[in-house]
Amino acid sequence: MIGIIVTGHIHFASGMKSAVEAIVGQQQDIEYIDFIEGTSREDLEALLIEAYQKVDQGDGVLFCTDVPSGTPFQVSAQICTDRKPSAALTGSNISILTEAAMERDSFTNVADLVCHLTEVGKLAIQSISF
Domain boundaries, the chain: 1-58+68-82
CATH of domain 1-58+68-82: 3.40.50.510
| Average pLDDT for the chain | 97
Minimal CA–CA distance to 94: which of 6, 2, 1, 3?
6
The span from the CA of 88 to the CA of 90, in Å, is 7
Instruction: Give whole-number Cα distances, 125 to 8, 18, 96, 129, in Å.
Output: 20, 21, 11, 13
- The per-residue pLDDT for range 52-111, each reduced to its tens digit, is 999 999 999 999 999 999 999 999 999 999 899 999 999 999 999 999 999 999 999 999
